[in-house]
Structure 1
Amino acid sequence: MTPSHGPGSPWSDLDRPPLNAASLRRALIRPGGLWTSLDLVPATGSTNSDLGARAAALPEGAVLVAEEQTAGRGRLDRTWSAPARSGLFFSVLLKPDVPVGRLAWLPLLTGVAAATGLARAAGVDMALKWPNDLMVNVAGERGKEERKTGGILAERAGDDGVVVGLGLNVTLREEELPVPTAGSLLLADAVSTDRDPLLRAVLRSLEQWYTRWTDADGDPAASGLQEAYAAGCATLGRTVRAELPGDRTLTGEAVAVDGDGRLVVAPPGGEPEAVGAGDVVHLRPAG
């Protein structure tokens, strides 16, 4: 029998095989571990929305993975779209017992975990753009270009839950990029674009960092998170322009990420100012 090659068929793009849910569960779910369930769906609007709607009925550690997102969302409701099976699109439910003021570190923690896991599994150097972007270097017309290959979105769910979603371009080709500033692991010359081991690596790394952080009561310094984020953050040391509400702009050198996860910007001749992710509409290189 000849297999169907329609859009919904796993045979429609042999360079993009489907994820193996049973194998992922065997590798990730274990007694005493963080991950308690893993569901894989062919397509959905948004894994964050779906998992958030069920958060009250689920234990911590639920994972929802989609082969395709048709209404994926980024920060400030920006859209995120990619062809089916071309990336990793998933959300996790976390219920951290830490002070509320430290929850702002969750998307930054996820960035550190993803960059750490992907460096090992994909062999790609990945940088973090504050507050929630994953960047890779892609060969362009003028040499290496820093491009966004992933984004993170954390949203409160119920009284004690946080849903953290991650979208990552894995095998997107140049002609498939939604914008010229986008990238993918494939375009960054990853040694592996097999999504099963990549997803396992990211979730294992996320479990390790989340456990360290919660064991330290969410303290970013004591857990090593603040130091690790600063070491991998490409924003630091650069002159940036932060566009703030009310048409206000703050331009200066990004000098630090403070204990609350805010970016500290030092304008020329002025006092350093800390800005939170919720206050920044855009953060761009100055000039």
Structure 2
Amino acid sequence: HFMYVDPFKDSNVSATGVLVSPRYDIPPGSVFAKISYWSVENVANSFTFIALAYEGTISGVSTEPVEFHQGSSVTATGEQEFWRHRVGNYVLDSSYTGFILYLYVSVFAPFGADAVAVDDIEVVFTNILGYTYYCTFETDACSWDNAQYGDEFDWFRHSGGTASFGTGPTVDHTLGTPSGWYMFIEGSHQNPGDRARLESSVNLAPTIEYCVQFWYHIYGEDVGSLRLTWETGLRSYTLWSMDGDQGDQWLYAVIPYFPPDDYRVGLVFTNKSLLSD
């Protein structure tokens, strides 16, 4: 499900729809609210988030737009629309106890007569200005690369089903169609125990707690294991692991962690048999 504006419902040249959130109570010590959403829009339409802050029980103390600083576009084929992901940070005042978000959507007909929709609005409170590294693999592999050493085979960016029967997904998770892209390993021609290591190319300093979120698909007879690691020049530590067949489905994982040194994140698949994807 998603929320949308019907541009044909009103005969006016332009119209504005307003979507109002419930009140978000601000946890003690929070300095920023990270706000993210997916939308379908075009140049003739506009999305604006306005935050109405609360001081104690009095509303309307602060009203300001939320600045969205990062975007990630996702395109699709056929009858699907163009979805765009945005992430922004809303600065909180120490006197705020909560806020309500107002999403203003302006439609200018007839040029804005295409679909206007929003989905997956998320608000996360934090005490630091968060860094967000987001990748759907729809355009490229972003900042992820195959390891130069310490493994025996590679990950590939792939769309559609896999070549081996009874293994792997038939669609990606982002679009849910055969035209969507994801990272994939073909273990059918590898030896048991062989590893494929995918690494982030971004080195992050150990000053704050981080959180990794991703969707994974582990399906097939005698399939191997998948591990999430952080790695420095001297050591590697497993943050999360999953072993064996998890069914023909995409599953969600979220792993918070606080690294002790400058590091990079890695996804390591270890092959178990000749029937792994």
- Report the TM-score, using the length of structure 1 for normalisation: 0.24
Q: Which has the higher contact order (CA 8 A, sep 6+)?
A: 2
Pick the structure with more helix per residue.
1
Pick the structure with greater CA Rg.
2
- Report the TM-score, using the length of structure 2 for normalisation: 0.25
